[in-house]
């Protein structure tokens, strides 16, 4: 066996149905056998250029592909033209009066090109500016007709195409992926009965309770207006000033200071609709619902030191991860779950279900699995799809409805409104990525960038000249608001339960493992240590005392300050909570399916390493769906101890340790010496060790451990399960390594401050 250079995803694990292998329906090709085709229908049965709106997207494939073909442009084999379709003879030189003479105004080719370029940018999203998207589908498990008439949930196996955009909140469009931040998790369902946008986050609660405070929150967290710093970070005075004066933020702070705010991958985080919504069935009967997305791969996070270093090593870390997984056919998948409850149950809860700073513990209302979402196609064009996609909480379909959550109410307004300036007018729904599969017919007309060419003389209703069309449908198919009774005085205020800001913050903290608690302490310590005004720090720690004395004490110690008096509570005697602990709130509650698919593993190489064990391991890892890469001192050829020549896939300089999930140190005395001569090696090993990743040392390479002073026995006497040493490679060693990598990281090694 000889070593082979890897690919981003190794050929052995590449199912050939990624983006590049998209079938060409016009050539009569059929769907790849690996695609999730539940009916056996083929693309050739469907006219890809027809925007059918027939309400029956072909099952088992992304039905947005066909409609979007209408606008896909491909210049392969085509001549260069102006926007008017005129062929361009010379794309190198401006038209001039003589070779050394002045440029001529009549050069419409130059002017068109430069003018278009000058206007290429659109405003970025005011929040969630940086994001990554993908196409896919939602598959429903069983008919839910008793609960809702919403189209995606009417039949078992029903497929609804989706487009999903994940994002960070505070950073600008070109900022880093691994900032400590909430992640947006926005899903556009192209249902048969219109588009439904579930615009959620990876955290089930929010910073504030009322939309009135949203501009204040965002102004506080964004770069400070006088000098435009810091970028993509909440660790600065204005955010913590606002936070320390807004006790309702306490629960959310627990989540954003936890590892939830630095996910390992978009593919490994949960999603939540956050607010309470309504499901409404055909008889008009309603239940409350909270939406949950649970990732098949489990919930896994980075650690802070790693997130900071990844920001430099690969600012596109999450974007690249999502893209590469989909290209390789490792389609990310989430299960949609509903927490379903009645108005009567809601009245009994110790918290208010209209308060977006509260969860309903899963131990109180379990999450019922409803269906699964698979993302199986990368966009063709980042701007046209990921940038121009417009999500909106107002986009709901018959069978769903809002609750009276005052945060949601403001959102219903904000999202449509913001697109009008971001996307240049009220016709953004006609942009291909936003346009529904369901037919659109109404009397709205004109406006900037109108695409549709409406026929006929009638643009009003009622009419007789147009035969009364388009006609309103009434209750049978039309959207009907749930007739929730309302009879109260107009008032600006909040219900009493909203004022309990601490019970659920305590619930979250108390439900974490010791390791997770330590990371929350570390999160607060780091962020507050960046605050320059001591009074803000004092006020913040004073507020934390109301959630957890232990947490406040540890944060105060970390900041080298005395414990301040607790802040006065708005509600001194809150109702007793239903549960004191909720295991579902720990990241460890969702370990995922196990295994090491898509995990990136560095095999260090240098001249003189023992090649055969690395080759065996490489094959075994690829067989498990992992992505082993040979990382050298330099790129180029490495000669093994046996004289074989292998190519390094990456160097320790261009792909540092933080970009890998695990590390293999090679055998071979000469190779180990060569590695030791490069300072990158110890840094590589130190980061892998510090970030609690699995490290396998083969033969002579255990010297590297000695050099760094690391040992299989931890200071408290425990054995480190993530540090494997083997004289030679055999099946048992491979199995032990794979099992250890599948653990993601080894918390027993974690220590604050770090051991090394
Ligand atoms: Fe928001 C974008 C999620 C509260 C106003 N929000 C935006 C996106 C997500 C969320 C995922 C990005 C969508 C995309 O990828 O294009 N927002 C949330 C959640 C919230 C929330 C889960 C609380 C539960 N948002 C919220 C409030 C307001 C807004 C209270 C205003 C009153 N959000 C916006 C916005 C954005 C947005 C200004 C910016 C760009 C956009 O809408 O399209 O309208």
Question: CA 698, CA 736: separation in Å to the nearest integer?
Answer: 13
Which letter, b or e, does each residue of 523-540 get, where b requires 16 or more Cβ atoms within 10 Å of its Cβ? Answer: bbbbbbeebeeeebbbbb
Mean pLDDT (whole number) for 319-339: 97
- For 400, the token pair is 């769903």
Is the domain of 571 the same as that of 604?
A: no
Same domain, yes or no, for 246 and 134?
yes
Distances in Å between the alpha carbon of 565 and those of 237, 252, 374, 562, 694?
21, 22, 50, 10, 43
How far is ligand 1, taken at its centre, from the CA of residue 729, in Å?
51
**Alpha carbon nearest to ligand 1 atom 28, residue:** 411
pLDDT of residue 43: 31
pLDDT at 620 over 60: yes
Q: With bands split at pLDDT 50, 70 and 90, how would you rate the model's confidence at 66?
A: low
Element (H, E) at 76: none
- Domain contains 101: no
What residue's CA is closest to ligand 1, atom 22? Answer: 200
Give residue-wise pLDDT tens across range 262-306.
999 999 999 999 999 999 999 999 999 999 999 999 999 999 999
The alpha-helical segments, DSSP class H, found in 376-502 are: 406-422
pLDDT value for 740: 98
- Identify the residue whose C-alpha is closest to ligand 1 atom 12: 128
Are residue 555 and residue 685 in the same domain, yes or no? Answer: no
389 close to 133: Cβ distance less than 8 angstroms:
yes
Q: Which of 201, 202, 376, 434 is catalytic?
A: 201
> Looking at the predicted structure, is the pLDDT value of residue 735 above 60?
yes
Q: List the beta bridge partners of residue 224.
A: 229
Torsion of CA 502, 506, 507, 511, to 10 degrees: 160
Ligand 1 centre distance from Cα of residue 125 (Å): 9
Over the stretch 571-583, which tens digit does the pLDDT of each residue have? 999 999 999 999 9
Residue from 122, 123, 124, 125 whose mutation best tests the ligand 1 pocket (most atoms within 8 A of CB): 125
Compute the distance from residue 580 Cα to the ligand 1 centre, in Å: 31
Residue 266's nearest CA partner among 390, 183, 346 is 183
CATH of the domain at 605: 3.40.50.880
Q: How many domains does the chain have?
A: 2
Residues 22, 378: contact at Cβ < 8 Å? no
Query: Taking the mean position of all CA atoms in its chain, how far away is CA 451?
Result: 32
Alpha-carbon gap, residue 94 to 427, rounded angstroms: 36
Q: Which residue has the tokens 């939602």?
A: 138
Q: Which residue among 354, 415, 419 has the greatest number of ligand 1 atoms within 8 angstroms of its CB, and so is best to mutate?
A: 415
Mutate to test the pocket of ligand 1, among 199, 221, 255 (most ligand atoms within 8 A of CB): 199
Hey, which of 172, 181, 391, 419 would you mutate to test ligand 1's pocket, going by the most ligand atoms within 8 Å of its Cβ?
A: 391
407 in Cβ contact with 356 (< 8 Å): yes
Three-state SS for 679?
A: helix
Q: Which one from 128, 251, 287, 300 is the annotated catalytic residue?
A: 128
Q: Whose CA is nearest to atom 30 of ligand 1?
A: 211
What is the rounded distance in angstroms from the CA atom of residue 494 to the CA atom of residue 487? Answer: 16
Domain-embedded: residue 111: no
Would you state the pLDDT for residue 45?
34
Of 593, 609, 634, the position where a domain reaches its end is 593
- 564 with 604, same domain? no
Residue 414 maps to a domain: yes
Which CATH number characterizes residue 320's domain?
2.40.180.10
Does this model's pTM top 0.90? My answer is yes
Q: Is 515 a catalytic residue?
A: no
- Strand 627-632 relative to strand 600-605: parallel, antiparallel, unpaired? parallel
Task: Determine which residue's CA is closest to atom 44 belonging to ligand 1.
Answer: 415
For residue 564, which of 235, 244, 255, 236 has the smallest C-alpha distance? Answer: 244
Q: What share of the chain is helix, strand, coil (3-state, %, to 5)?
A: 30, 15, 55
Atom of ligand 1 minimally distant from the CA of 128: 12
Q: How far apart are CA 618 and CA 626, in angstroms?
A: 9
Mean pLDDT for the stretch of residues 463-484 = 94
The mean predicted confidence, pLDDT, of the chain is 91
C-alpha 177/C-alpha 310 separation (Å) is: 9
List, in order, residues 6 or more apart from 386 with CB less than 8 Å away.
131, 132, 133, 165, 379
Q: 102 lies in a domain?
A: no
d(CA 266, CA 295): 9
Predicted pLDDT of residue 62:
52
Looking at the structure, tell me whether residues 625 and 542 fall in a common domain: no
**What totals of helices (H) and strands (E) does the chain contain, helices first?**
18, 18
Residues ≥6 apart with Cβ < 8 Å to 679: none
Q: What is the dihedral of CA 398, 399, 403, 407, to 10 degrees?
A: -50
pLDDT for 74 equals: 84
User: Which DSSP helix (H) or strand (E) runs through 725?
Assistant: strand 723-726
> By alpha-carbon position, which residue is closest to atom 18 of ligand 1?
200
Alpha carbon nearest to ligand 1 atom 42, residue: 415
Run of H or E residues at 369: strand 368-377
Residue 582 makes CB contacts below 8 A (sequence gap 6+) with 361, 362, 363, 507, 508, 511
CB 400 within 8 A of CB 196: yes
Residue 28 has pLDDT above 80, yes or no: no
pLDDT at 24 over 60: no
Ligand 1 pocket by C-beta < 6 Å: which residues?
125-128, 131, 165, 167, 184, 186, 199-201, 206, 211, 214, 274-275, 356, 390-391, 407, 410-411, 414-415, 418
pLDDT tens sequence across 655-687 = 999 999 999 999 999 999 999 999 999 999 999
Query: Would you say residue 1 has pLDDT above 70?
Result: no
Task: List alpha helices for 187-303, DSSP H.
Answer: 214-221, 237-244, 250-256
Active site residue 546: no
Ligand 1 centroid vs 393 CA: distance in angstroms? 8
- Strand 650-651, strand 131-140: pairing: unpaired
User: Are 571 and 660 members of one domain?
Assistant: no
Exposed/middle/buried for residue 728 (C-beta within 10 Å: 0-12, 13-18, 19+): exposed
Long-range own/partner contacts, residues 469-475 (CB < 8 A, 24 or more apart):
469/441, 470/441, 470/442, 470/443
Q: Is residue 263 part of a domain?
A: yes
- The answer to whether residue 115 is domain-embedded is no
Distance 305 CA to ligand 1 centre (A): 29
Of 249, 247, 269, the closest CA to residue 203 belongs to 269
Same domain, 683 and 582: no
**Structural tokens at position 685:** 């090993």
Residue 264's φ and ψ, nearest 5 degrees, are -65, -35
Same domain? 320 vs 436:
yes
Binding-site annotation: residue ranges for heme: 125, 165, 214, 411, 415, 422
Backbone φ/ψ region at 187: left (φ over 0), alpha (ψ -120 to 50), beta: beta
Longest dimension (CA), the chain: 91
**Which domain does 373 fall in, by range?**
13-70+127-449+457-467+501-593
CB 159 within 8 A of CB 57: yes
Q: pLDDT tens-digit profile of 490-519? A: 999 999 999 999 999 999 999 999 999 999
**For residue 639, which phi and psi values (nearest 5 degrees)?**
-95, 125
Distance 408 CA to ligand 1 centre (A): 10
Instruction: Please give the pLDDT value at position 73.
Output: 83
Indicate if 320 and 397 belong to the same structural domain: yes
**Where is the domain boundary, 532, 565, 593?**
593
Q: Is 561 helix (H, G, I), strand (E, B) or coil?
A: coil
Q: Apex CA 479: angle with CA 475 and CA 481, to 5°?
A: 95
Query: 541 and 653: one domain?
Result: no
Q: Is 7 contained in some domain?
A: no
Report the nearest atom of ligand 1 relative to the CA of 275: 24
The Cα–Cα gap between 402 and 387 comes to 27
- How many angstroms is it from 127 CA to the middle of ligand 1? 7
What is the structure's pLDDT at 475? 84
387 domain-assigned:
yes
Q: Which residues pair with 572 in a beta bridge?
A: none
Could you give the angle at which helices 549-559 and 534-547 cross, rounded to 10 degrees?
A: 160
Q: Is the pLDDT of residue 60 over 50?
A: no
Please check whether residues 142 and 219 belong to one and the same domain.
yes
> How many CB atoms sit inside 10 A of residue 604's CB?
27
Say how many CA atoms lie within 13 Å of 735 toward its Cβ: 3
Q: Are residues 609 and 582 in the same domain?
A: no
Cα–Cα distance for residue pair 137/291, rounded to 1 Å: 17
| Model confidence at 31: pLDDT above 80 | no
Predicted pLDDT of residue 233: 98
Choose one of 547, 575, 593: the last residue of a domain. Answer: 593
pLDDT reported for residue 68: 81
């Amino acid at each position: 066996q000889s070593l082979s250079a890897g690919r981003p995803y190794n050929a052995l694990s590449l199912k050939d149905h990624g983006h590049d292998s998209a079938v060409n329906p016009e050539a009569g090709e059929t769907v790849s056998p690996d695609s999730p085709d539940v009916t056996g229908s083929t693309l050739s049965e469907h006219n890809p250029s027809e925007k059918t709106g027939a309400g029956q997207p072909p099952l088992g494939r992304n039905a947005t592909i066909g409609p979007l073909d209408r606008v896909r442009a491909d210049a392969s084999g085509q001549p260069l033209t102006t926007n008017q379709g005129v062929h361009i003879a010379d794309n190198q030189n401006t038209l001039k009066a003589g070779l050394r003479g002045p440029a001529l105004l009549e050069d419409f080719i130059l002017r068109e090109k430069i003018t278009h370029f000058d206007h290429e940018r659109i405003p970025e999203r005011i929040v969630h500016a940086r994001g990554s998207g993908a196409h896919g589908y939602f598959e429903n498990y069983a008919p839910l007709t008793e609960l809702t008439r919403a189209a995606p949930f009417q039949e078992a196996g029903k497929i609804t195409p989706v487009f999903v955009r994940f994002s960070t909140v505070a950073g600008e469009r070109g900022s880093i992926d691994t900032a400590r931040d909430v992640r947006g998790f926005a899903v556009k369902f192209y249902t048969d009965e219109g588009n439904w946008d579930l615009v959620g986050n990876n955290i089930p609660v929010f910073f504030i309770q009322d939309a009135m405070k949203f501009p204040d929150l965002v102004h506080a967290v964004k770069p400070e207006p006088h000098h435009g710093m810091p970028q993509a970070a909440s660790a600065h005075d204005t955010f913590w000033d606002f936070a320390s004066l807004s006790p309702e933020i306490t629960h959310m702070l627990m989540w954003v200071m936890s590892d939830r705010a630095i996910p390992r991958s978009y593919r490994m985080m949960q999603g939540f609709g956050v607010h309470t919504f309504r499901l409404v069935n055909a008889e008009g009967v309603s239940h409350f619902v909270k939406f949950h997305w649970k990732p098949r791969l489990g919930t896994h996070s980075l650690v802070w030191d790693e997130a900071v270093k990844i920001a430099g090593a690969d600012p596109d870390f999450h974007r690249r991860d999502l893209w590469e997984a989909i290209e390789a056919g490792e389609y990310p998948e989430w299960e949609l779950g509903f927490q379903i409850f009645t108005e009567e149950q809601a009245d009994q809860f110790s918290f208010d279900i209209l308060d977006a700073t509260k969860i309903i513990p899963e131990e109180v209302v379990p999450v019922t699995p409803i269906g699964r979402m698979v993302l199986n196609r990368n966009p063709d064009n980042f701007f046209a799809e990921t940038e121009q996609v417009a999500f909106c909480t107002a986009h709901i379909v018959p069978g769903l409805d809002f609750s009276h959550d005052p945060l949601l109410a403001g959102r219903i307004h904000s999202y449509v409104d913001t697109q009008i300036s971001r996307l240049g007018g009220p016709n953004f729904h006609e942009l291909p990525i936003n346009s529904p599969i369901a037919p659109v017919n109404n009397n709205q007309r004109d406006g900037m960038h109108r695409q549709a060419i409406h026929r006929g003389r009638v643009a009003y209703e009622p009419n007789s000249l147009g035969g009364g069309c388009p006609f309103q449908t009434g209750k049978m198919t039309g959207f009907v608001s749930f007739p929730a009774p309302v009879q109260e005085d107009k008032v600006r205020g909040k219900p009493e339960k909203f004022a309990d800001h601490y019970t659920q913050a305590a619930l979250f903290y108390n439900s974490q493992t010791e390791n997770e608690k330590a990371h929350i302490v570390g999160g607060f310590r780091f962020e507050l240590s960046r605050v320059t005004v001591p009074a803000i720090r004092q006020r913040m720690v004073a507020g934390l005392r109301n959630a957890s004395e232990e947490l406040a004490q540890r944060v105060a110690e970390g900041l080298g300050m005395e414990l301040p008096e607790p802040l006065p509570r708005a509600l001194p005697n809150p109702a007793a909570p239903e549960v004191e602990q909720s295991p579902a709130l720990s990241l460890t509650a969702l370990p995922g399916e196990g295994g090491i698919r898509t995990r990136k593993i560095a095999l260090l190489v240098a001249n003189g390493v023992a090649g055969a064990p690395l080759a065996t391991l490489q094959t075994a890892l690829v067989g498990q769906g992992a992505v082993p890469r040979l990382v050298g001192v330099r790129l180029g050829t490495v000669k093994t101890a046996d004289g074989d020549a292998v190519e390094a896939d990456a160097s320790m300089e261009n792909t540092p340790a933080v970009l890998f999930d695990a590390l293999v140190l090679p055998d071979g005395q000469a190779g180990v010496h060569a590695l030791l001569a490069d300072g990158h090696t110890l840094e590589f090993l130190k980061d892998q060790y510090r970030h609690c990743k699995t490290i396998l040392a083969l033969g002579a390479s255990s010297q590297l451990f000695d050099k760094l002073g690391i040992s299989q026995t931890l200071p408290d006497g425990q054995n480190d399960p993530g540090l494997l040493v083997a004289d030679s490679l055999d099946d048992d060693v491979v199995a032990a390594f794979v099992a250890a990598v599948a653990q993601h990281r080894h918390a027993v090694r974690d220590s604050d401050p770090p051991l090394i």
